[in-house]
Amino acid sequence: MHEDRPAFGQRLAEPGVIEFRPEPLDALVERRLKMVWEARSCPNCGADSLQALDGSDRIWCGRCHWKTTYTRGTPFYDSELTPGEFLIAFVLYADTLLSITQIAALLSPCYKTFHDQIRGVETAFCRGFLTVWERISQTVDGPTQVDETQQVCSGFKRQEPPRESLDRGGSPEGGRTRWTGEQGDEVTLVAACRDVLRVVSAQEGSDYEEDLAPVIEDADDLPQELGEVWTDGLPAYQGMDYDHQYVVHDDGYVSDQGVHTNQAECLWSLVQPWLAKFRGLSKQGLEQAARTYGFLRSLNLTGAPIHSLVDCIAVNAFR
């Protein structure tokens, strides 16, 4: 064991080891956003005459001559990173075990700026996913497998005020918020997995005797209803107002009727090492990070094109 040897991810993050070429992604983002602008009416006069040309970053109205840039209203706007670098950074953040510090070393000399930009993109992605999902997947079928796992998040730990060294982002709200409860810094993550869909939500604390049904209602907001719900035998699931089947894990992982939660268990095996790279998150940061992972996993499983990721990040600006 060579404990003093840097991890593989750290060696990858050393300056000069990897060189990115974001220009093709820059062009993809530009084409996609200009296409969206041209499909909408002018925010100033309402005319259907917005125009965009190759080689120009401007959008303008042919009637009232209102002008803006194609990145306006998106996380790409007025950033130190190019749109292509944004996509590279977000994919490395959301789909690898590299930490934000390691990714920042690859793309940006300023950790604080990079950290804030990643969190902004993450918030936009989670908000935009549900809208984009309606357009890219209409074939989700079968039962919804639901399972829970307990996670410990950073917090006050009964200290007032919070230590500055625990200043980690994640909340979409302004300022730094931390949740504390009777059970300490504990959160129950609940996954609803149906076919290729992965939705992760959270409930404060770890009291599984409470009804967990409200936590999985996020999945019902999607185009396909939950359908038949499969869970393990925890009493917290018994009050759900759904067609409910369950498996008692003390008897086996698959019931005699073929009921199981293997999809959700598989998701936890991927989420947990991914969350570990943050070395602690607030309750808000933990929930948002887990939702991000589930949503991006859904896009991956459907084979969605890269412009679907762009749409998720930018769609909130064009509603």
Q: Are 207 and 237 in contact (CB under 8 A)?
A: no
Tell whether the model's pLDDT for residue 302 goes beyond 60.
yes
How many other β-carbons are positioned within 10 Å of the β-carbon of residue 38? 14
For residue 50, the cross-strand partners are 61
- The fold of the 144-302 domain, in CATH, is Nucleotidyltransferase; domain 5 (3.30.420)
pLDDT at 307 over 80: yes
pLDDT at position 233 is: 85
Mean pLDDT confidence for 20-39: 91
pLDDT, one tens digit per residue, over 108-162 is 667 677 888 888 899 999 999 988 988 886 678 889 899 988 887 765 444 444 4
Q: For every residue of the chain, which 3-state class applies, written as one string?
A: CCCCCCCHHHHHCCCCCCCCCCHHHHHHHHHHHHHHHHCCCCCCCCCCCEEECCCCCEEEECCCCCEEECCCCCCCCCCCCCHHHHHHHHHHHHHCCCCHHHHHHHHCCCHHHHHHHHHHHHHHHHHHHHHHHHHHCCCCCCCEEEEEEEEECCCCCCCCCCCHHHCCCCCCCCCCCCCCCCCCCEEEEEEEEECCEEEEEEEECCCCCCCCHHHHHHHHHCCCCCCCEEEECCHHHCCCCCCEEEECCCCCCCCCCCCCCHHHHHHHHHHHHHHHCCCCCCHHHHHHHHHHHHHHHHHHHHCCCHHHHHHHHHHHHHC
Average pLDDT for 6-20: 57
Residues 178-203: tens digit of each pLDDT:
434 333 467 889 898 989 999 998 87
The least confident of 78-87, 221-230, 256-265 is 221-230
Spatial separation of the C-alpha atoms in residues 274 and 287, rounded to whole Å: 13
Look at residue 171 and tell me whether its pLDDT is greater than 70: no
Domains of the chain: which residue ranges? Answer: 8-136+313-318, 144-302
Alpha-carbon span 288 to 57, nearest angstrom: 32
Report yes or no: 281 and 290 within 8 Å, Cβ to Cβ: no
Contact 122, 288 (CB under 8 A): yes
CA distance 292 to 224: 20
For residues 40-61, give the mean pLDDT. 90
Tens of pLDDT, residues 66-80: 999 999 989 999 888
For residue 119, what are the contacts with CB-CB under 8 A and spacing of at least 6?
169, 170
Look up the pTM and report it: 0.81
Assess contact for 52 and 39: CB atoms under 8 A: no
Q: Given the DSSP bridges, would you call strands 144-152 and 50-52 parallel, antiparallel or unpaired?
A: unpaired
**Spatial distance between the Cα atoms of 108 and 16, rounded to a whole number of angstroms:** 13
Contact assessment for residue 171 and residue 282, using Cβ atoms and an 8 Å cutoff? yes
Which region, left, alpha or beta, applies to residue 167 given φ > 0 means left and ψ of -120 to 50 means alpha? beta
